[in-house]
Amino acid sequence: MKFFKFLMLFAFVFFISCGDDKDRKPGIETAKEEEAEVIEKLASAELIAKKFPGVLNSVGTIDLQHANLLDSIYSKRDYTPIWTERALREDLYRSIERATEDGLEPKDYHLSYLKNSLTNLSELDDEERSLTEIILTDAFFALASDYNSGKLNPAEIYDIWGVESNKIDLPGLLDYGVRQKNILAAIDSVVPKHEVYKGLKRSLKEYRKLARNQEDPTFVSEEGESIKADEKDERIPNIKQRLKELGYWQQEIVDSAITYEKPLQEAVKKFQEKYGIETDGVIGGGTIKTLNKTYQERLEQILVNLERWRWYPKNLGDQHIVVNIANYRLHFVRNGDTVATHRTMVGTEARKTPVFSEEIEHIVYNPTWTIPPTIKRKDVIPSAAKDPDYISKKNYSIFDRSGNRLSTSEVNWSSSEVKGYTFRQEAGPANPLGLVKIIYPNKYMIYLHDTPSKSLFNKNLRAQSSGCVRVQDVLDLAKMLLSDQPEYDEEKIKEILDSGKTTTIKITQKVKVHHLYWTAWNENGSTHFAEDVYKRDAAIYKLLSAN
């Protein structure tokens, strides 16, 4: 029941935005209205039933994507045809054509076959019409499924993936579209509605045009040292030319002017900021590689990020925190409005922050730090084995499996038992969690927290943690999470912090935290890109192209 309420909501929105049926342009079957023969029922139940003993992974010469589901749905309805009305077929064809606006390939949904069949229905025999009936259904299932949860399965791509695939009742969705006589509304109901996705669609349109019109871009040699302020380098003219092509340099370019002067430094900084590079004005290898990226490569990056957003939850929640791992930003959203944005630090390439979603449970002020298994195994135990004073220097406490505190003299560092011990760093100025941590229990042992190393937030590239997310001004974020509990006002929180005692407060608001990863987005009408810190974009694009 909830499923159909969900669909009805989107159907209402769709009708408001798209207007009446009479406003639609002629469809594939009625493009030449004066020549069109009105054909409704494509095939009889008997003809469709005859097809299914042979329907495995293909029908005729067409490979099917949902053969098992087709067999199931048609057998349950005694093989009665579905696409008995021309308007339904034309709705589906329009949806397939429009898939390109979302970065999907219409050819993946039998476009060529359907174009030929639907424009020549009057000339098809019963056999061909029954094939068209089945292929229309497969096309609907494939298109709706790809919109709903993506073409690729991220759980098969990544060792660590913590977001459940978006569920969909494909037969129920088709039944809804047929009953409502609006396949467009049915398809639209499963298209992602998040603002980032909508913005990426606008960027896709823009970059398709840029890529189509781009002439051979100027290439800047990646050989040589980084170029710093006022240094001379033979690559300077080419750098100016490339920046001019990208809209960051408007002045005259003289080949003999090879000094890295102030105006060019400012142009480089603007370019670096736009593309998520360290905004230091130094023209290093990363900046040059980014300069050399073509519009086609940026277009591919946008396509990858559209696919990512089809993997992510359809509903992030009325109140939620979303962490964009790649852009080192956290956004606190209430009822569709971003009420706070914070800089973050995330996991290194070796210790990536995972993609997942969980609900906040509690906040801990003056937290202790229980060392995660990976850090314990790779860092703490080897360091303690080499340096007898390591544990005391770090203000660590050691506990055996029974919870008994151990002194360093009681620990046999070469024993396998030490791997089962708990290492905890007590609250204090050296504690890497700082003054507060925000907990949303998860199997990855990831959380949001403060840090004593606040100067690191001034850097553009901030993949420097061991997986958890450090948040700038996290005390302000914690205050917002406690805003519905007036007893925890500023005076009370100050009292807790000044005490130095570890204090846990349960969250009574419903707030989910989503750790997501995207490297392109549209903000205020401008497309922005982040460095692909975990080197994932190229692999995803390759898989999308192969599919």
Active site residues: 449, 468
**Beta carbons of 459 and 424 less than 8 angstroms apart:** no
Between CA 66 and CA 93 the distance in angstroms is: 18
Between CA 437 and CA 469 the distance in angstroms is: 10
What residues pair up with 469 in beta bridges, in sequence order? Answer: 448
- For residue 468, which amino acid is it? C
**Beta carbons of 149 and 308 less than 8 angstroms apart:** no
Angle between helices 67-76 and 126-149 (to 10 degrees): 120
Between CA 178 and CA 78 the distance in angstroms is: 17
**DSSP string covering 135-193, please?**
HHHHHHHHHHHHHHH-SS-HHHH-S--BSPPPP--HHHHHHHHHHTT-HHHHHHTTS--
**Beta carbons of 286 and 272 less than 8 angstroms apart:** no
- Copy the structure tokens of residue 214: 């781009």
**Beta carbons of 275 and 170 less than 8 angstroms apart:** no
**DSSP string covering 279-340, please?**
-S--B-HHHHHHHT--HHHHHHHHHHHHHHHHHS-S---SEEEEEETTTTEEEEEETTEEEE
- Copy the structure tokens of residue 181: 């006589």
**Beta carbons of 101 and 107 less than 8 angstroms apart:** no
Residue 470 vs residues 7, 180, 251, 346: alpha-carbon distances, Å: 39, 49, 41, 7
Cα–Cα nearest to 425, from 470, 366, 468: 366
- Copy the structure tokens of residue 500: 């130095």
- Copy the structure tokens of residue 532: 């692909």
Q: What phi and psi values does residue 58 have, to the nearest 5 degrees? A: -155, 160
